[in-house]
């Protein structure tokens, strides 16, 4: 019987390139995920991968279009940034634009801003859902889907293990937001560094409370990279690859 393997991908901006390192290791070990649960950057990576694109191709697509860098975002009339660039390229590489058309089961978490709750999507309009999951409040435009006004899923659930718990035999989770000791991320203490660290400190207890549900927990050392250091994409990818490869033997044994 085939082992149903589920992959959980956290949010984390440009550090989401580390998720691709994990997926590359799984490819090399010939481990095919049955389902993926992603949020924010993890939702973007998960959507491309579930659509059949290889980790290396996804890395090239994301680097070329700088999705995680400020340069790809366009300011709209309300003073909020738009994800028109991301939307356009998602349309190019996932033209069917539906969960049902994907090669793998995909679950994406977004936050219902009006009702103060996390919502998981697994059917319908894929691109709107991906963009909603990555729309940081007060920076990006909210996304309306049906009666929901949606923003970044990481606000309430930055490590969405729950959608896979009863659907998979093996759960592998990758969190790209390990909080470093000290101040900031190795750079001077700026407002963005402070805001970022405070956010991750606030959500860390919820993230780590879910680790016991996993068979493999991967947490790359990424403290030197900021959420928008898109020029460091290759280094982040390699860090994710190295972190996942440390679990090679455990991963292979779980497939037996």
Which residues have a catalytic role annotated? 40, 152
Helix (H) and strand (E) counts in the chain: 8, 10
Q: Which two tokens stand for residue 137?
A: 């409040």
Say how many CA atoms lie within 13 Å of 134 toward its Cβ: 30
Q: Which two tokens stand for residue 212?
A: 């016991």
Say how many CA atoms lie within 13 Å of 250 toward its Cβ: 13
12: left (phi over 0), alpha (psi -120 to 50) or beta: left
Whether 9 contacts 36, CB under 8 Å: yes
Task: Report the relative pairing of strands 148-152 and 105-112 from DSSP bridges.
Answer: antiparallel
Instruction: Return d(Cα 156, Cα 206) in angstroms, integer.
Output: 9
Helix, strand or coil, per DSSP, at residue 144: strand
């Amino acid at each position: 019987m085939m082992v149903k393997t589920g992959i959980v991908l956290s949010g984390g901006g440009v550090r989401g390139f580390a998720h691709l390192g994990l997926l590359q290791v799984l490819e090399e070990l010939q481990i095919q995920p049955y389902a993926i649960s992603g949020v924010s950057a993890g939702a973007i990576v998960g959507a491309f991968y579930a659509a059949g694109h290889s980790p290396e191709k996804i890395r090239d697509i994301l680097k070329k279009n700088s999705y995680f860098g400020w340069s790809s975002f366009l300011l709209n009339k309300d003073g909020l940034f738009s994800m028109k660039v991301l939307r356009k390229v998602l349309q190019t590489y996932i033209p069917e634009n539906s969960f049902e058309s994907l090669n793998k089961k995909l679950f994406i978490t977004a936050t219902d801003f009006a009702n103060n709750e996390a919502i998981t999507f697994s059917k319908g309009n894929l691109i709107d859902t991906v963009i909603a999951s990555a729309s940081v409040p007060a920076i990006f435009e909210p996304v309306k889907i049906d009666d929901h006004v949606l923003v970044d899923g990481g606000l309430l659930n930055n490590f969405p293990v729950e959608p896979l718990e009863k659907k998979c035999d093996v759960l592998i989770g990758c969190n790209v937001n390990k909080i470093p000791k000290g101040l900031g991320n190795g750079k001077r203490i700026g407002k963005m560094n402070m805001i970022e660290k405070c956010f991750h400190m606030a959500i860390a207890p919820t993230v780590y409370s879910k680790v016991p549900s996993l068979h493999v927990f991967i947490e790359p050392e990424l403290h030197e990279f900021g959420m928008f250091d898109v020029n460091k994409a290759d280094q982040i990818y390699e860090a994710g690859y190295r972190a996942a490869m440390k679990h090679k033997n455990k991963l292979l044994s779980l497939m037996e």
